């Protein structure tokens, strides 16, 4: 595995794992980061696929930060984040099994 891949995956895991203390949405984000990392370790994910998945994780993290900016995550925001995580989960599965 190249150094760049390792740095990229480690950065994604740190970003998702540090937020994992706050609740179920964050726990799911951390688990998805672990799934991506496992895909890289096993060789099932190419560099391009990994970059796409990490960018998706970053977008979801940004959604969560915007939702929390006012100190409260309303049901509409939570539903949007859950839908984005559902989509990301499907993307991870598809890219690991293609």
User: By the 8 A CB rule, do 64 and 25 touch?
Assistant: yes
Give residue limits of the domains in the chain. Answer: 3-96
Q: Would you state the pLDDT for residue 34?
A: 94
Per-residue pLDDT tens digits for 62-86? 999 999 999 989 999 999 999 999 9
User: What would the DSSP string read from start to end of 80-95?
Assistant: HHHHHHHHHHHHHHHH
Cβ-based neighbour number of residue 76 at 10 Å? 9
Q: Would you state the pLDDT for residue 11?
A: 63
- Total number of residues shown for the chain: 98
Sequence-distant (≥ 6) Cβ neighbours of residue 56 within 8 angstroms? 87, 88, 91
Per-residue pLDDT tens digits for 11-70? 665 555 444 445 777 889 999 999 999 999 999 999 999 999 999 999 999 999 999 999
């Amino acid at each position: 595995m190249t150094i760049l891949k390792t740095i990229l995956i480690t950065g994604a895991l740190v970003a998702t794992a540090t937020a994992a203390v706050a609740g179920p949405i964050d726990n799911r984000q951390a688990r998805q980061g672990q799934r991506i990392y496992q895909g890289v370790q096993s060789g099932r994910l190419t560099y391009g696929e990994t970059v796409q998945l990490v960018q998706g994780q970053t977008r979801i993290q940004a959604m969560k930060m915007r939702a929390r900016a006012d100190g409260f995550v309303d049901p509409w925001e939570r539903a949007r984040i859950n839908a984005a995580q559902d989509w990301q989960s499907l993307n991870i599965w598809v890219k690991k099994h293609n």
